[in-house]
Structures are given as structure tokens and as C-alpha cells.
A and B are shown apart, each in its own frame.
Chain A
Amino acid sequence: MQATMIESLLWIIPVAPLAGALIIGTLCALSPKRGAFPARPVVYVLACVGPIVSFVASCGVFLALRSSAEGVALHQTLFPWINAGGVHIAFGLEADRLVGMMLMFITFVGSLIHIYSCGYMGHDKGYARFFSYLNLFLASMLVLVMGSNLVVMFLGWEGVGLCSYLLIGFWFEDESKAIAGKKAFITNRIGDFGFVLGIFLIFKTLAAHGVVSLEFSDLARNAELLAPIATVAGLLLFLGAAGKSAQIPLYVWLPDAMAGPTPVSALIHAATMVTAGVFMVARMHFLYELAPLAGQVIAGVGIATALLAAIIGIGQNDIKKVLAYSTVSQLGYMFVGVGVGAYASGMFHVFTHAFFKACLFLCAGSVIHALHEEQDIRNMGGLLKKLPVTGWTFIVAWLAICGIPPFAGFFSKDAILASAFGAWGMYGKVLWVAGLCGAGLTAFYMSRLAFLTFFGANRTQEHMRAKIHESPISMTLPLVVLATGSALVGLLGIPHVLGGSDLFARWLEPVFGEPHGEGEPAVVEYALMAASVAVALVGMSIAYVKYIRKPYVSAEPKGFGVALLNALYVDELYRRILLGPIAAGSRVVLHGIVDVKIIDGTVNGLATLARQAGRAIRLLQTGSVRTGLYWIGAGLSVLLLVIYGGSR
């Protein structure tokens, strides 16, 4: 494929879903009364056409990159965007090999989820609005990924945050869901503050040396100039990533985000938006290579988040909440990967996670759909027979996330753990041990989820049992495709030790450079792999004994279980030390003093002043002749004094 021809068509990738969003949105707005949206099939087609076109275009981009020389990136400048003084920022799209890889799975998984949503959201009266938002989200994500400079990326960054808010609070009549949407957006914005400060710092530093640009290619070329501020800028940008990708301390929005429809959870909070943070760190790898301290912080935060989320996940009873904490935990692993400098490994985990996590979420949606909105796993069980396709695809994805070879999760997670082991001496070993514990916990809580949902005795409500049936093909087909992906995509990253050629890392080599010489002898690598698998099997066995061998009696959690259910009271902690004082300060100072006393006081004071002045002046009008004569006399005296007083 002609690379230059593809280059001129880069704009199609984000514009296709954007057009879909605008068209559906306009049709919604123009429909005579609120409920009478355009016909369902029309909306389904319009909604799915955009993502599929993007996917086809992304394939074209990928093939063009494949047939081009190694370091080549496709670039298209759409229009000059910001021209202010000496600053010229163009709206440009760029696709190097990293971006090309991201485009592939984003559009692929995105298209599948759009198709799934046709079945899932079919009964919802707001379905057209849903697809409009979902298309808009996809367009924003593609802008984020393809942006050729930090500003366009930030535009997409904000766009996905907005769409996340719109989609989480989709059923906004339920106040708690609306609040969840708000929480997501505000937490994101706190991170974005750091992101913006990072951008400013980078810009200022480069501009001082005469480089007035935020294009990634220019930043990479002039990376040495950023060395003095690399750590600070890296950490500021990571703050944005922590908000977007739900790391400590800004992860609290993700479990609440499960209030949104399940396809939203699958697309945004598993496969795409939350990976934007990891992607950003990888894109800015040239900066992070200059700041090992920032990398250590990122890896530390990542592993802490991974462990914390895994621990909380053990005590959750809502199927989606378990998956949410699982996502937070897996994102932590991704950050460990990019933190230690193993960008390809981190991105590989992004890639495999997209498949199996999306599959898990869509299966959960299928279960919820079949059980008429039941989400508590204590009321499930034995569903494998009733929902065979859902059940078996879930099993594949479950094995993938536990890290059982040859499924995908094993290769990606193991790559990260191996890189961590080899990094920075003692700290790396600590990271590895913690990662291993996390993997064990992951295996445990995911197995718990699998066993309680699909195996064992059927604990569903009596009146529903007969009616439980498998979901329509619009929903099961994406499940099968994603499960196949979860099983197979791991093979793209078979490490050299096992005889593979690690196609994934080699594809990304032009971007990230040669992997740092690990120097681990093969024996050590085998041992590490064996340890991961062993730990996973241990976790699964413990869950098996606890939930299958002994018949499960769902009881109210007590003791530590209560704390886990309440997510270790982190939200309450934030409320007490942060939100409470801010709200009280707002109420007392900003409202009570500034707003009421100063601003209202000034305005009301002016009115009172006018009134009092009027009252005083009114007294001049007596209507009596005598007063008039007095004033004539007074005026005359003054006049005479003025005229003749100085002539003495």
C-alpha cells in the first residue's frame, strides 16, 4: 500500500466515528418528541459503520507501516490550529508503530463492543443517545492516540474524560449514577491539572532553547534539553496518567464508574480510556529514560495500586466491581512495566488486557442481561449450563487473566515481572515479589468470581430460573471473538527464552530502541515463569477449595470482610480529610464571607446608599414658599461672596 496515500487518509480514522456521533446526535435532536428516535436498525447501522470504517483504515495504516522502513511514521497535518504570538500548534495526526498497534486493537475491540451494544442496549429508551456518545468516545480516543503533539493528545484526553462522564451517568435519572459520573470527571480533572503543568514545563524549557514546539518528533529529537526538568515533568505527566488510568491516589472513580452500562465499562474502563495513561508514558519514553527516579516512582505507585486493588477485589460481591478492581490492579502492572523501562512489555499487557478484560466485562453484561439486572454474585451460580457461550468465553478470559499459559495474560504479565526482576537491583526484586503476590491474589479473586458465578449450586432467584437463556448472537459473537483473541494474542509475544521471536517487541523496536540487555540467564527466566504459574495455580486452588469443595453459603461479610467490601474506607478517608474541609471552607469562607458579605454586601450597600441619599435629598422638597425664599437668600449670599469676596 502506498504510504503517502494512506498518510493523506489518516483523518478518516477519527472522523468516521465522529461523523457517526454527530449524525445520530442531530437525528436525536431533530426528532419531534423526545422518545421518537430514528428507527433502531438505522441507528445500529450508523453507529457501527464509523468504528468499522476506522478499523479498516487502521488496518491500512498498519500494513503501510509494515511495508515501510522501520522508523517511519505516517504524518498528516489537518489544519493550523493555534497561532498565538510565536507559538504555532498544528492539528496533526501521526502514526508510528506504537500508534499503529494501538489503533488496531482500539478500533477492533471498539467495533466489537458497538456490535455487542446493539443487543445489550436494545431495550433501553435512550439507545440513540448511547451510540452517539459511544461514537464520540471512540473518536476522542483515536484523536488522543494519533495526536502528533501534546496539545492534540490533550484534546483527545479531555474528550475521553467528557465521554466517560456522559456514559457513566447515562442513566442520569438515578442520582447515584449521576454522582458517579461527576466523580469520574472531577477526579480525572485533578490529574489533568498535573498533566497540563507538565506540558507547560516542557514547553517553557524547550522554548528557552529556541525550540517552540510540542510535536512528539521535536520533543524526541531535543530530548537532552529536557534533562534538567525530566523528573518533575515526568511526574507531573504521570499525575495526569494516574487520574486517567486509575492509579493511587486517583483510582476511586473506577469502581463507581460501574454505574454505567456494561458495554461502557468494557470499552472505556477496560480496553481503551484507562490505557491512555500507560500509552502516554510509552509515547514520552524519551523523557522517562532521562528520569529514572520518575520511573521508580511510577513502578512503585503501580505495584502498590496493583496490590491494593487486588486485596479490595477479594471482598467484593458485585460482579462488575470485582472486574473494576481487577482493571485497576492490571493497570498497576502496566505501569510497573513502563516504569522500569520495559515499554514494550507494558504495552503488550495493555494489548492482551484489552482482549481478556473486554471479554470478561461483556460476559458479565451477558450474565446481568440474562438474570434481569442481577449483579450480586452471591445470587448466581451454576450458570455454565444455562449460558454456555457466555460461560466458556468467560472461562477462556479467566484463564488468560490468571496467567495460565498458553493464554495471553501469561506472556504479557510474565514479561513485565521478568523486566521488574532485572531492574535496579534490590528494588526490582521487591517489585517482582510484590508482583507475584498480586498475581496470586488476582488468580484467587478471579477464580472466586468464576466459581461463584458459573459453577456450584444455582443460587439465583426461584422465579427467574426457568427464564434464564443465552444472549442473542449480536452479543455472543463479540464474546467468542474476544475469547479467541484472549487465547491467541499471547502468541505474538512469545519470548526468546521459550523459542519464540517476540514479534510484538520487535514490532515496537524502532520506537523504543533495543531492549536493555537483561542479562538474565535462561535458567532464571524459566524459574520466574514457573513461579508465576505456580502462584496462579495456588490462588486458583485456594479459591477452588473455598468455593467449590465446600458448598458455598452466602453470608454477610464480617470483620475484615466488611472493610474490604467498603474498599478499605478510602472514599470515606478522602471525604473526611479532603472533601469535607473543602466543602466546609467553601461554605464558610467563600460563600459566607466573600459571596454574602463582600459581594452581596457591596451590591446591596450601593442600593442602600442610593435609597438613603434619596431620602435625604427628598427633604429639600418642602413645597413651601418660605423654604424657597431661604434658598434664594442663601444662593444669593454665596454668589456675592464668590464674586466680591476676593476683591478685598
Chain B
Amino acid sequence: MPTTSYLYLAVAVFALGLFGVLVRRNVFFVLMSIELMLNAANLVFVVFAKSHNDLNGHVLAFFVMAIAASEACVGLAIVILFFKKWASTDISDAVEMKQ
């Protein structure tokens, strides 16, 4: 299959992830959207590794997965602290400025 289709897919997934980060109000959904973006990037790496027959791409994909996992942990820890401060999972509640 032509590599461009996979790239379109990756772009689409990345866009969905970006959209989700910017639009969703729930912190969990923001984290999930971030994961989506990471996975889209991963897909791009793998596709190019396959088409160029370069192992580096695969290796980098593994790195990204590992880092995504640790980042997810840290992210969830931040969510816990966020909930402690704001008593809510809605990011639009996190405003200290008086309206």
C-alpha cells in the first residue's frame, strides 16, 4: 500500500488528538488525547522505517512508547494534585483570576 495513506492516517489521528487536547474539558480526556498524538507520531516513525528499510525508526518507536508510558504516570500524578487543589476534573475550573 502506498505510504502516503498511512501518513494521512497519522495526520488524521494527530489532528484528532490535538483537537481533543484543546477542546476537551476533562483532564483525563486531555491525557488520552496526548496519548493519541504520541501514537500518531509513532505510526509515522514505523511507516517511514518500513518504507526506507531503516531499523532506526522502529527503535525510536519503542523509545516513544516507553516515554509515553512514563509520561502517562507523571500525568496521572499531576491529575491527582490538580484534583486536590481544584476539587474538580474540569480544566476550565483552574482559573485564579477574578472575572
Contact = CB atoms under 8 A, between A and B. Distances in A.
B18 A621 contact: no
Interface in A586-637: 621-626, 629-630, 633
B22 A629 contact: yes
Chain B contact patch, size range: under 10
Interface stretch (B43-51, B62-70, B87-95): B87-95
Contacts, number: 22
A624 B92 CA distance: 6
Pairs of residues from A and B, 5 with the lowest C-beta to C-beta distance, nearest first = A623-B97, A623-B95, A625-B91, A624-B95, A629-B22
A633 B18 contact: yes
B18 A626 contact: no
B22 A623 contact: no
A617 to B, nearest CB: 15
A629 B92 CA distance: 12
Contacts of A630: 22
B95 to A, nearest CB: 4
B25 to A, nearest CB: 8
Contacts of B91: 624-626
Interface in B73-99: 91-92, 94-97
B93 to A, nearest CB: 9
Nearest to A637: B18
Contacts of B94: 624-625
Nearest to B94: A625
13 contacts: A621-B97, A622-B95, A622-B97, A623-B96, A623-B97, A624-B92, A624-B94, A624-B95, A625-B94, A626-B92, A629-B21, A629-B22, A633-B21
A621 B97 CA distance: 9
Nearest to B19: A633
A33 to B, nearest CB: 59
A571 B22 CA distance: 82
A4 B28 CA distance: 110
Contacts of A622: 95, 97
B26 to A, nearest CB: 12
B53 to A, nearest CB: 24
Given A622-B95, A629-B21, A633-B18, 16 more contacts: A622-B97, A623-B96, A624-B91, A624-B92, A624-B94, A624-B95, A625-B91, A625-B92, A625-B94, A626-B22, A626-B91, A626-B92, A629-B22, A630-B22, A633-B21, A633-B22
A638 to B, nearest CB: 15
A51 to B, nearest CB: 80
